[in-house]
Amino acid sequence: MAGAETQGDVHKCDLNGILEIQELTVHFHRKDRIIGRQTTIHAVDRVTLTLSKGETLSLVGESGSGKSTLARTVLKLHHPTSGTILFRNKDIFRQDRTESKSFRKRVQMIFQDPYESLNPQSTVLSSVIEPMIIHGLAKDKRESMASRLLTMVGLDPTSKLDRYPHELSGGERQRVAIARAISLEPELLVADEPVSMLDVSIRLEILHLLQTLKNELHLTYLFITHDLGVARYIGTRIAVMYFGQIVEIAETDELINQPLHHYTNLLLSSIPGSENSQPLAVKADVDYSFSATEPPSGCRFRTRCPKAQEKCALKEPELTELTARHFVACYYPLSR
């Protein structure tokens, strides 16, 4: 196909797609009790994204950009305002009870804070076997399965199975959370900042563990992180989110070495120790916060963008494939 093609067409051809997100929009409505005005928070807006089997897609962006909402919607923890999510070509929001239960078995989540994601009153054993009970694994097999899972995540089952979360370190807790997430042999793991609460020396061990498990269990990851270093270390592709939308998506090295969107460039040039060739885009006197209730017209980044033109305010740029497998939503992308 000649010239630029829109993302939707390309992604329909992807036969390996395990998860397809199409035009997903998630808005939250909040009514102010005193003045009675309703506000809408645009958490995710018209996001289209395909995850291929076996890849690790890192979703990066600042806090409030909609990363977590997108991830939680994939797990059916939020209902979309519009748009669809297909898992194995089936719409996850049109499932009957059996399908829904099977879906929840095949898609699992790892949360950010291992101090809060484990029940403080449950031992490691009961935390790990709880999903097995819900999904009806035979009673006599549960304990041996739990031991096997702990070994897989690098914990000694004999000493750890009857421990409570407060007796474990942060890294050990995250391992237990991972053991529980893989206990039902899922196909897709959604990890929401799984290492951001951990110390650097522990962080790397967990990343290596996730990598090993991915290879052994043929997992696909949707990996949410604010840390581009982590995204680069673990991810095969990176998607950059800004204000509820994906503004750029490409293979990891391509995105870091040849960013096309001005926002990606801003992120990259803000990283401590950055030796980015592009001039530093951070200004000391600009308020970089944004309000999620009133998105700017047209391109949402235009209010902060150094290259914004008149056109940017008029119409929202579409995510377009500029070079092979490198999509960007910008009228005036950075030159290569």
Partner 1 sequence: MKAVDGVSFTVNKGEILGLAGESACGKTTTALSIMRLHGANAVVEGKILLEGRDILQMSNEELRDFRWKRISMIPQGSMNSLDPVISVGNQITEAIQAHENVHKSEAWKSAEKLLSSVSIDPSRAKNYPHEFSGGMKQRAVIAMALALNPSLVIADEPTTALDVVVQKQLLLLLKELQRNLSISFLFVSHDLSVIGEIADRLAVMYAGKIVEIGPKSVVLKQPSHPYTRALVNSVPRVFGSRQLLHSIPGSPPTGIWPSGCRFHPRCEFAFEPCKQKEPQLEVSMTGVHAACHLISQEKETGFSTKR
Q: How far is the CB of 288 from partner 1 (least distance, A)?
A: 5
81 sits near partner 1 (criterion: CB under 8 A): no
User: DSSP label at 19?
Assistant: E
Contacts of 73 (CB under 8 A, 6+ apart): 24, 26, 44, 79, 80, 85
Strand partners, 44: 26
Q: State the first-to-last Cα distance of the chain, in angstroms, to the nearest integer.
A: 22
CA nearest neighbour of 240 among 315, 314, 300, 189: 300
Q: How far is the CB of 290 from partner 1 (least distance, A)?
A: 9
Residue choice 30, 288, 293, 294 for contact with partner 1 (CB under 8 A): 288
Residue choice 34, 138, 284, 324 for contact with partner 1 (CB under 8 A): 284
39 sits near partner 1 (criterion: CB under 8 A): no
Q: Are 220 and 18 in contact (CB under 8 A)?
A: yes
Q: Report the distance separating Cα 67 and Cα 274, nearest Å.
A: 24
Residue choice 55, 130, 143, 205 for contact with partner 1 (CB under 8 A): 205
Stretch that binds partner 1, among 71-79, 180-188, 281-289, 324-332 (CB under 8 A): 281-289
Residue choice 102, 119, 144, 274 for contact with partner 1 (CB under 8 A): 274
- The tally of CA atoms less than 13 A away on the side-chain side of residue 92 is 28
Q: How far is the CB of 54 from partner 1 (least distance, A)?
A: 19
Contacts of 176 (CB under 8 A, 6+ apart): 114, 118, 124, 127, 128, 150, 153, 155, 160, 165, 168
224 sits near partner 1 (criterion: CB under 8 A): no
Give the residue with the Cβ less far from partner 1, 188 or 256.
Answer: 256
277 sits near partner 1 (criterion: CB under 8 A): no
208 sits near partner 1 (criterion: CB under 8 A): yes
120 sits near partner 1 (criterion: CB under 8 A): no
Stretch that binds partner 1, among 84-92, 99-107, 275-283, 315-323 (CB under 8 A): 275-283
Binding mask 147-186 for partner 1 (x = CB under 8 A): ----------------------x-x---------------
Residue choice 15, 32, 63, 96 for contact with partner 1 (CB under 8 A): 63
283 sits near partner 1 (criterion: CB under 8 A): yes
Q: How far is the CB of 199 from partner 1 (least distance, A)?
A: 4
Residue choice 55, 99, 143, 227 for contact with partner 1 (CB under 8 A): 227
The SS3 call for residue 212 is: helix
Q: Are 219 and 187 in contact (CB under 8 A)?
A: yes
* Site size with partner 1, rule: CB under 8 A: 42
Q: Are 155 and 179 in contact (CB under 8 A)?
A: yes
Contacts of 300 (CB under 8 A, 6+ apart): 242, 243, 244, 245, 316
Q: Report the distance separating Cα 119 and Cα 114, nearest Å.
A: 10
- Token code pair at residue 323: 């070079």
276 sits near partner 1 (criterion: CB under 8 A): yes
Give the residue with the Cβ less far from partner 1, 145 or 202.
Answer: 202
- Token code pair at residue 6: 């829109």
- Give residues in contact with partner 1 (CB under 8 A): 62-63, 169, 171, 199-205, 207-208, 226-230, 232-234, 253, 256, 266-276, 282-289
